[in-house]
Amino acid sequence: MASMPRIPFSGILLVLLGGLFLADQFHVLSFGTVFSRWWPALLVLAGVLNLLERPSSIMAPVIMITVGVAVLLSKLGYLQLTSVWKLWPLVLITVGLGIVFKGARGKS
């Protein structure tokens, strides 16, 4: 008996989050102050779940977690938005590390 492919929960979470933001943009619904401040925590959660579901794929979850933490810290007032944008080279570093580790795993 063939098993059904698993649908990653993190992907479903991201689709739902995107749908909620789209509905907010078109004024179909309005986020409360709690959600508008804490939504980046859902991005961090999606990254962690993605990392747990597919530990071999590290780059996308690390980027989601990094962006989520940076935006959350900005929303909570611990980082200024200009400070967050100064950290964009971390994306290059993360992508580079992902390529290095993927290449190292492929050779063994």
Q: For residue 52, what is the enclosing H or E element? A: helix 40-53
Average pLDDT over residues 20-38: 80
What pLDDT was estimated at residue 104? 61
Average pLDDT over residues 48-68: 84
- pTM summary value: 0.63
Whether residue 107 is predicted with pLDDT greater than 70 in this model: the reply is: no
Secondary structure class of 100 (helix, strand, coil): helix
Percent of the chain with pLDDT over 70: 81
Query: Please, what is the end-to-end C-alpha distance for the chain in angstroms?
Result: 33
Confidence tier at 44 by pLDDT (50, 70, 90): very high
